[in-house]
Structure 1
Amino acid sequence: MDFGAYDHYFYAVVALLGTVAAAWFLLWVTLRSPWAEEIRTYRGMSPPFLGVVGVLFALTLAFLANDTWNAHDRALNAVHQEGDALRSIKALAAPLPQASRRAVEAAVADYARITVEEEWPLLARRLSSQEAADRLDALLALLSGEEISLTSQPATHALMLTQVTQVRVARSMRIALSRTHVNPLKWLGMAGLGFLTMISIAMVHVDQARAEILAVAIFAAAAAPTAAIVLVQGNPFQPPTVITDAPIRALVPS
Structure 2
Amino acid sequence: METTRLAVYDHYVYAAVALLGTALAAVAIWRLIAAPRWRAQVLSLAGVVPPFLNILGVLFGLTLAFIANDTWSAHDRAMNAVYREADGLRTLDALARGLPDAPRADLRAAVRTHAAATAAEWQQLAQRSSSPAAQHSADQLLSLVASPAMAQAAGSSVHSLMLGTVADLRDDRDLRIALSQMHVNPLKWMGMAFLGLLTLISIAVVHVEHLRAAATAIVLFSVAAAPTAAIVLMQGNPFQSPSFVSPAPIAQLALNPATAP
TM range (shorter): over 0.9
AA at the equivalent of 1:219 = F
1:75 aligns with 2:78: yes
| CA distance, structure 1, for counterparts of residue 36 and residue 155 of structure 2 | 83
- Cα offsets for 1:189-242 (capped at 9, x unmatched): 000000101111000100101110111011001000000010001100001121
Aligned twin of 1:138: 140
More displaced 10-residue stretch of structure 1: 90-99 or 67-76: 90-99
Aligned twin of 2:259: none
- Relative to structure 1, the CA distance from residue 36 to residue 179 in structure 2 (aligned partners, 3 Å threshold; closer, same or farther) is same
| CA distance, structure 2, for counterparts of residue 74 and residue 230 of structure 1 | 16
Aligned twin of 1:98: 101
Tell me the SS of whatever aligns to 2:254. Answer: coil
Please provide the CA RMSD for this pair: 0.9
Q: Extract unaligned runs of 5+ from structure 2.
A: 257-261
Aligned twin of 2:16: 13
Shift of 1:52: 0.6
Normalising by the residue count of structure 1, what TM-score does the alignment of the two structures yield?
0.98
1:85 aligns with 2:88: yes
AA at the equivalent of 2:117 = I
1:27 aligns with 2:52: no
Aligned twin of 1:110: 113
Aligned twin of 1:53: 56
AA at the equivalent of 2:142 = L
Normalising by the residue count of structure 2, what TM-score does the alignment of the two structures yield?
0.95
Aligned twin of 1:200: 202
Aligned twin of 2:252: 250
Q: Which contiguous aligned blocks of 4+ residues in structure 1 show a shift greater than 6 angstroms?
A: none
Q: Extract unaligned runs of 5+ from structure 1.
A: none
1:44 to 43, 47, 71: 47
| CA distance, structure 2, for counterparts of residue 225 and residue 105 of structure 1 | 48
- Cα offsets for 1:121-142 (capped at 9, x unmatched): 1111001101110111000000
Aligned twin of 1:178: 180
**Number of matched pairs:** 253
| CA distance, structure 1, for counterparts of residue 166 and residue 112 of structure 2 | 13
AA at the equivalent of 2:210 = Q
Task: Give the % identical residues.
Answer: 51
Aligned twin of 1:161: 163
Aligned twin of 2:68: 65
| CA distance, structure 2, for counterparts of residue 147 and residue 66 of structure 1 | 47
Shift of 1:33: 6.0
AA at the equivalent of 1:62 = A
Tell me the SS of whatever aligns to 1:34. Answer: helix
